[in-house]
Homo-oligomer: A and B are copies of this chain.
Amino acid sequence: MSHLTSDEFRKYGHQVVDWIAQYLEEVESRPVLSQLEPGDVRDALPDAPPEDPEPFEAVMEDLNRVILPGITHWQSPNFFAYFPTNSSPTSILGEMLSAGLGVQGMLWATSPACTELETHMMDWLVDLLALPEKFRSETQGGGVIQDSASSATLCALLAAREQATSGASNESGAKGDLVAYSSSQAHSSIEKACLIAGIGRQMLRKIEVDEDFAMSSEALERAVRRDIESGLKPFFVCAAVGTTSSMAIDPIPEIAEICRKHGLWLHVDAAMAGTAALCPELRSMHRGIEQADSYTFNPHKWMFVNFDCNAFFVDDRQALLNALSILPEYLRNQATASGQVIDYRDWQISLGRRFRALKLWMVIRQHGREGLAQLVREHVQLATEFEAWIHDSEAFELVVPRQLNLVCFRHRRGNAFNEQLVERLNRDGRIYLTHTKLGDIYTLRMSIGQWQTKAEHIEQAWQLIQRTAEDLASETPTTTP
C-alpha cells in the first residue's frame, strides 16, 4: 500500500536502465511507424483503474505487450520523419537525475542551482554557437530554457506586443490593430501564437517566398508599408533559419533592416538548424542574427538533449518581464526582493518548471564542443551523400537543393505517385519519412539527424526507397507529374 522502498527502487531502477539499454540496442529492428490501428492500445487496457496495488513486474509486462507495439520509434536510426527528437543516452541520465531531485525552478530561491546552472548553460550555448554577445546573461539580455520553440515564439510575440503598445495590451487587452509577419513557409507555431495572444489569424501576414522558399524581403517591405498606410501597427516579424518544410533560410540581414526602419521586433526561429552553428563552417546561415531581438533553437532536436529543452534568447530581458511578470504575496522572498537573482517563472508561460539544464550540462560535457560539432558534421555528410544519389538518379529528383541535413526530393512520376510511395514505405515499417508540399509539389523529406543513424542506415533507406518505387511503378500506369 505504500511507496517503493530504497531497495525496491534500486532493484527496479536497474531493471528499467537495462530495459532502456536493450530497447535502444534493438529499436533498429522494430517497425519505425507503429502499425497499430486506432483503439488497439486502449482495447488492451482494463477499463477501470486497479483497486489494489499491482506488482511492478506486471507493469513491465504490459509495457512490452501493450505499449511497445504502439510506439513510433523516434529513437530508431531509421527515423527520417519530421525533424529528430534525440534522446541520447547521456541526456536520459540527465533526465533521471532531474526526476530524482524533483525540484521546482520557478524562483531562484526554490533551487538556486536549477536557475544558475540554466543561466550558465545558456551562456555556454552563446559560446558554442557563436551567438551575439548581447544574448549573454551579463548583458541586458539573456537566455532561458522553454519546453518548445512554440512557447519561445509565443513569449517573443508577447514581449513584442507589450513593447509595441507600451504595456497597454497587458493592461486593457489587445486592440486588434497589431500586425505580425512571417513567411508562408513559417512554422504553424507562429500562427498559433498569434491566435493565443489575441493578435488574430488575419493579422498575421504570410509573406511570399522566393524560388528557394525563403521569405522575400521585398514582399515583406511592401506588406509593412501597406499596413502602415492602412493605419495598422506592424510590430513583429518571425524569420526562419531553417523552415520546417525545406530548411529554407530567410534573408535575415535584409529583414533586420526593414525591422530597424519600422521599429519591428525581429524574432529568429532556428529550432532545428541552430545546432549546426556548432560547426564554424556552417555559421553563415546565422548571418544577421546580431540584429535579432530574440532567437530560439532546440537542443532537443539535433543537439542530443532529450525533449523538452528549447533555448530562447532575448536582447532585452525587461521586455519579457514586462510581458510576463506577476508577483503574488505567496511567491515573495528575500532573494527576489534583492533584485540580484533571476526568477525564470517570469520568462515563461507557466509557473512551475523542471531542472532541464542538468541534461544539457551533461550532454555538453559528455561530448565537448568539438565532439558535438563532429556529430553534426557526420549527419550533414550523410545528407550530402543522399543528395548526390538523388541527383544521379533517373527516377528521382531534388525539389530544392539540400540544406544542412535535410533533403527534399520526389519521384519524377508526380504527386499522386509520391503520396502512394511514402504511404507504402511507412506501412512497410523499415524506415519512416514524412512529406510536405513545396508550392504544388508533393515532396518527400529525408531528415537525417537521429543519434544512432550511420551510413549503413542511409544506404539501406535509399535501396528501400528505390525498390519500393520500382514495385509501385510496375503496378501503376504512367502519369504526368
Contacts and interface: CB of A to CB of B under 8 A. Distances in A.
Contact of A6 (B24, B51, B423): B24
A365 B58 contact: yes
A362 interface: yes
A352 B1 contact: no
Contacts of A119: 42
Given A24-B100, A112-B72, A127 B48 contact: yes
12 contacts: A2-B371, A9-B17, A16-B93, A52-B371, A59-B362, A71-B114, A95-B95, A147-B350, A151-B349, A175-B175, A244-B328, A308-B354
B173 A178 contact: yes
Contacts of A326: 188, 191-192, 195
Contact of A99 (B34, B91, B104, B112): B91
Interface string A333-364: 11100101100000001111010001001101
A124 B170 CA distance: 39
A188 B332 CA distance: 12
Given A16-B93, A82-B330, 16 more contacts: A1-B368, A3-B90, A3-B304, A6-B21, A13-B96, A14-B17, A34-B112, A50-B368, A85-B103, A87-B99, A87-B100, A92-B99, A174-B175, A187-B328, A189-B351, A334-B423
Contacts of A12: 93
A75 to B, nearest CB: 5
The 8 tightest CB contacts between A and B, nearest first, are A198-B198, A70-B113, A87-B102, A173-B200, A174-B198, A13-B17, A20-B100, A41-B116
A275 interface: no
A85 B200 contact: no
In this complex, the interface size class of chain A, counting residues with CB under 8 Å from chain B, is: 35 or more
B20 A96 contact: yes
A67 interface: yes
Contacts of A201: 170-172
A446 B156 CA distance: 38
A111 B70 contact: yes
A66 interface: yes
What is the oligomeric copy number?
A: 2
A209 interface: no
B49 A124 contact: yes
Contacts of A463: none
A374 B351 CA distance: 29
A197 B200 contact: no
Contacts of A100: 16, 19-20, 23-24, 75, 87, 92
A33 interface: yes
Given A71-B101, A87-B99, A367 B111 contact: no
Contacts of A73: 103
A25 interface: yes
A188 B335 CA distance: 19
Contacts of A39: 116, 340
B89 A102 contact: no
Given A1-B371, A34-B111, A195-B170, A117 B67 contact: yes
Contacts of A112: 34, 36, 38, 40-41, 70-72
A385 B58 CA distance: 38
A434 to B, nearest CB: 6
Contact of A365 (B13, B16, B59, B71): B59
Given A90-B3, A352-B148, A41 B188 contact: no
Nearest to A5: B89
Contact of A174 (B74, B174, B188): B174
A323 B198 contact: no
A306 interface: yes
A115 to B, nearest CB: 8
B366 A53 contact: yes
Given A58-B365, A170-B195, A198-B174, A338 B48 contact: no
A473 interface: no
Contacts of A324: 192, 195-196
Contacts of A54: 365-366, 368
A22 B169 CA distance: 50
